[in-house]
């Protein structure tokens, strides 16, 4: 079986600016992976390449052995860093929308999560706070039965209690065939649920390691280690 | 008992310690069935693979016994649990003695403290 995600000498340039440079990366199935790095390190560029929103300048990126396209979009569930949903739509309309779009969308799971987070399906997005909107988007994304979930800053605007619920949701949706890639700055909140972390800086991968290996070797949390490595 | 995880030590080691403690305290009874990996992971808010790793280590040490069809059970070997309890007590005692020595107390003084606090 092909690895879930494979990058070979992957580079991306925007004009003269190099955003990613010669990335070699393999993600296995059944993992929860943190993509960590300071602002402007290339996290979102990598995520956009995975989702076919950008094309590599050099090298290749394969999902289940295929370049990003229609086939890979069926199995990749993506939470972008900016919303693309229409503000006037009600939550229940969005669920229907997703059900039409994605054959692997599990509407029942979405309704369960909405209930747990006390979100009314009849509310429209424009009446919601920033954090509630984020929750709705995350519910939509996590309710698909995908192979790869790619979450770009999923919990930034969400209150700590809901953050815990969302992380629990990620753990309980976990299965050995799918992998979750989370880009975030809130390392302390997520590190207990991560299998491994990828440190990225200036468009290069500094480190790919398990959380417990970092704690064992460095005697500190990933959060503390990150602060040390990227000290300004 | 809730799961308390410190952030400077490997998570799976802390999970092992806490499961030890639960067995000794009787929260997980000898011979009873352990919850599934998934449930335990959700309860402790940790990655299922990490919980799996902790349970594998516990199986390796014999404290957990796996029955292929019906799940994981706490050992019925009371002497093993008793030994673990004693080991843990010794460890606590050593830490305690070390701390008091650092504070400059002699063994005699420590003895008096202990006798006083027991009464």
Looking at CA atoms only, how far is residue B19 from chain A in angstroms? Answer: 17
What pLDDT shows up at residue A77?
A: 95
Question: In this predicted model, what pLDDT tens digit does every residue of A95-143 receive, in sequence order?
Answer: 999 999 999 999 999 999 999 889 999 999 999 988 888 889 999 999 9
pLDDT of residue A213: 92
pLDDT of B114 reads 86
Nearest-by-CA chain A residue for B51: A193
Listed in sequence order, the residues at least 6 apart from A196 whose beta carbon sits closer than 8 Å to its beta carbon are A31, A33, A34, A208, A209, A210, A211
pLDDT 10s digits, B42-79: 889 899 999 999 999 999 988 898 887 888 999 888 88
The CATH architecture annotation of domain A5-229 reads 3-Layer(aba) Sandwich (3.40)
Beta-bridge partner residues of B102: none
Whether A172 and B42 lie within 8 Å, measured CB to CB: yes
Which pLDDT does position B15 carry in this prediction?
A: 95
pLDDT at A45: 94
Contact B15, B47 (CB under 8 A): no
CATH topology of domain B11-76: Arc Repressor Mutant, subunit A (1.10.10)
Q: Could you report the per-residue pLDDT of A4-29, keeping only the tens digit for each?
A: 999 999 999 999 999 999 999 999 99
pLDDT band at B113 (very low <50, low <70, confident <90, very high): confident
Identify the bridge partners of residue A117 per DSSP, sorted by sequence position: none
The predicted pLDDT at position A158 comes to 83
Predicted complex ipTM:
0.79
- Name the residue among A167, A195, A223 with its Cβ closest to that of B45: A167
pLDDT at B80: 87
Per-residue model confidence as pLDDT tens digits over A38-66: 888 999 999 999 999 999 999 999 999 99
* A-chain residue closest to B10, CA distance: A212
What value does the mean pLDDT of chain B take? 89
Q: What pLDDT does A74 receive?
A: 93
How far is the alpha carbon of B52 from chain A, nearest alpha carbon, in Å? 12
Task: Say if A223 is an interface residue toward chain B (CB within 8 Å).
Answer: yes
For chain A, give percent helix, strand, coil, nearest 5. 40, 30, 35
Residues of A in contact with B40 (CB under 8 A): none
- The domain limits of chain B are 11-76, 79-118
What tens digit of pLDDT does each residue of A147-182 get?
Answer: 999 999 888 778 888 888 888 888 877 778 899 999
* Three-state secondary-structure class, residue A205: strand
User: Residue A75: exposed, middle, or buried by beta-carbon count in 10 A (0-12, 13-18, 19+)?
Assistant: middle
Tell me if chain A has a CB within 8 Å of the CB of B12.
yes
Q: CA of B49, closest CA in chain A: separation in Å?
A: 7
Give residue A59's pLDDT: 94
pLDDT in the model for residue A168: 84
Every domain of chain A and the residues it spans = 5-229
């Amino acid at each position: 079986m092909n690895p879930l995600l494979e990058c070979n000498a992957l580079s991306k340039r925007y004009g003269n600016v190099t955003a990613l440079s010669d990335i070699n990366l393999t993600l296995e199935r059944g993992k929860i992976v943190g993509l960590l790095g300071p602002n402007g390190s290339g996290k979102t560029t990598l995520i956009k390449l995975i989702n076919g929103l950008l094309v590599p300048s050099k090298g290749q990126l394969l999902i289940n052995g295929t370049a990003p396209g229609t086939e890979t979009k069926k199995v990749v569930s993506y939470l972008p860093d900016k919303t693309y949903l229409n503000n006037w739509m009600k939550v229940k309309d969005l669920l229907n929308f997703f059900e039409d779009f994605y054959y692997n969308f599990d509407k029942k799971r979405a309704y369960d999560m909405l209930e747990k987070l006390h979100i009314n399906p009849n509310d429209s997005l424009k009446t919601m706070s920033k954090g509630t909107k984020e929750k709705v988007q995350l519910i939509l994304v996590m309710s698909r039965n995908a192979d790869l979930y790619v979450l770009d800053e999923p919990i930034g605007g969400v209150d700590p209690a809901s953050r815990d619920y969302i992380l629990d949701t990620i753990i309980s949706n976990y299965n050995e065939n799918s992998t979750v890639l989370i880009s975030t700055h809130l390392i302390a909140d997520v590190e207990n649920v991560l299998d491994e972390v990828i440190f990225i800086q200036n468009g290069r991968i500094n480190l790919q390691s398990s959380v417990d290996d970092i704690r064992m070797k460095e005697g500190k949390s990933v959060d503390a280690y990150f602060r040390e490595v990227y000290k300004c | 008992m809730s799961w308390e995880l410190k952030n400077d030590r490997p998570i799976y080691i802390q999970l092992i310690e806490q499961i030890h403690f639960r067995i000794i305290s009787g929260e997980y009874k000898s011979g009873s069935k352990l919850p599934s990996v998934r449930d335990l992971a959700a309860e402790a808010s940790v990655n299922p693979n990490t919980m799996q790793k902790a349970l594998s280590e516990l199986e390796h040490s014999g404290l957990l016994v796996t029955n292929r069809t019906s799940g994981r059970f706490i050992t019925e070997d009371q002497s093993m649990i008793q030994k673990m309890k004693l080991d843990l007590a010794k460890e606590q005692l050593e830490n305690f003695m070390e701390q008091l020595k650092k504070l400059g107390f002699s063994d005699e003084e420590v003895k008096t403290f202990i006798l006083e606090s027991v009464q």
